[in-house]
């Protein structure tokens, strides 16, 4: 898997090492186990998917994670991306709007011993104000627009990485320069599952 990521242009060695260290097959249904290290997304139930490894590597590289960064992830899904961030030394808050997915990810990450990850069942469109500000915020679902609360919950100097668009999403990297100023960069195109408002209970 790491060789494929390198071929596709991922050069951040810390990200590649973190992804090599985390058993992706733990985060997938048994039915897909033998393909767990292919560069492909897979269904995880509730019409959601675990992101393709390239997408995880791309978003994680953009975030420029440092040990002890406080990171908010919107869209826990399987928990794999949260595990990659934690393996890089970050303190991770991850929210998921599907109750079942949130509970499954929490159980798995606890079993795997990831003590630096807090899983919360929540609609991430309002962010997670009680633990703000964050050094980094990562959205792993395709949002029609950038939710204003996420920008507000960034620390000054902090960065939001979010795929924005309807059919196709462009990766936005938004840096908070001051209380009122943000720098916005629009990068490559991707396809994510949709960012939805409200929660889905069991
Ligand atoms: N990071 C995940 C990828 C999951 S796909 C992984 O590594 O497996 C994106 C997830 O975002 C889905 O599980 C979806 O339910 C969730 N999602 C979409 N909109 C959301 C919202 N407003 N708040 C929280 N989670 C959301």
SS3 for 175? strand
Using the mean position of ligand 1's atoms as its centre, give its distance from the Cα of residue 24 in Å. 17
**Number of other residues whose CB lies within 10 A of the CB of residue 52:** 16
**Mean per-residue pLDDT over the chain, rounded:** 97
The span from the first CA to the last CA of the chain, in angstroms, equals 34
pLDDT tens digits for 39-79?
999 999 999 999 999 999 999 999 999 999 999 999 999 99
Residue nearest to atom 2 of ligand 1 (CA): 77
Model confidence at 202, pLDDT cuts 50, 70, 90, reads confident
Kindly list the structural domains of the chain, giving each domain's residue range(s) and its CATH number in brackets, ordered by start: 2-190 (3.40.50.150)
Confidence class for position 30, pLDDT limits 50, 70, 90: very high
Q: Which atom of ligand 1 is nearest to the CA of 105?
A: 8
**DSSP state, residue 53:** H
List, by residue number, the catalytic residues.
51
The residues, any chain, with a CB within 8 Å of residue 130's CB and separated by 6 or more, are: none
- 189, β-bridge pairs: 170
To the question of pTM greater than 0.85 for the whole model, the response is yes
Residues with CB under 6 A from ligand 1: 48-51, 74-75, 77-78, 80-81, 95-98, 101, 123-125, 140-141, 193, 195-197
Distance, CA of 67 to CA of 59 (rounded, Å):
17
Nearest-angstrom CA–CA distance, 53 and 61? 12
Q: How far, in Å, is the centroid of ligand 1 from the Cα of 64?
A: 21
Q: Are 192 and 167 in contact (CB under 8 A)?
A: no
């Amino acid at each position: 898997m790491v060789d494929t990521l390198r071929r596709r242009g991922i050069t951040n060695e810390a990200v590649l090492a973190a992804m090599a260290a985390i058993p992706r097959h733990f985060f997938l249904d048994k039915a897909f186990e033998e393909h767990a290290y292919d560069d492909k997304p897979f269904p995880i139930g509730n019409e959601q998917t675990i992101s393709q490894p390239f997408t995880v590597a791309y978003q994680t590289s953009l975030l420029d994670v440092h040990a002890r960064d406080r990171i908010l992830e919107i869209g826990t899904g399987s928990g794999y991306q949260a595990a990659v961030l934690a393996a890089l030394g970050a303190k991770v808050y991850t929210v998921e709007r599907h109750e079942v997915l949130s509970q499954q990810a929490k159980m798995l990450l606890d079993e795997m011993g990831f003590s630096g990850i807090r899983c919360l069942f929540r609609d991430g469109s309002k962010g997670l104000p009680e633990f703000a500000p964050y050094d980094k915020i990562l959205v792993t679902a395709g949002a029609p627009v950038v939710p204003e609360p996420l920008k507000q919950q960034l620390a000054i100097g902090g960065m939001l990485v979010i795929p924005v668009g309807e059919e196709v999403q462009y990766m936005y990297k938004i840096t908070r320069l001051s209380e009122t100023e943000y720098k916005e960069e629009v990068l490559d195109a991707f396809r994510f599952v949709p960012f939805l408002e409200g929660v889905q209970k069991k």
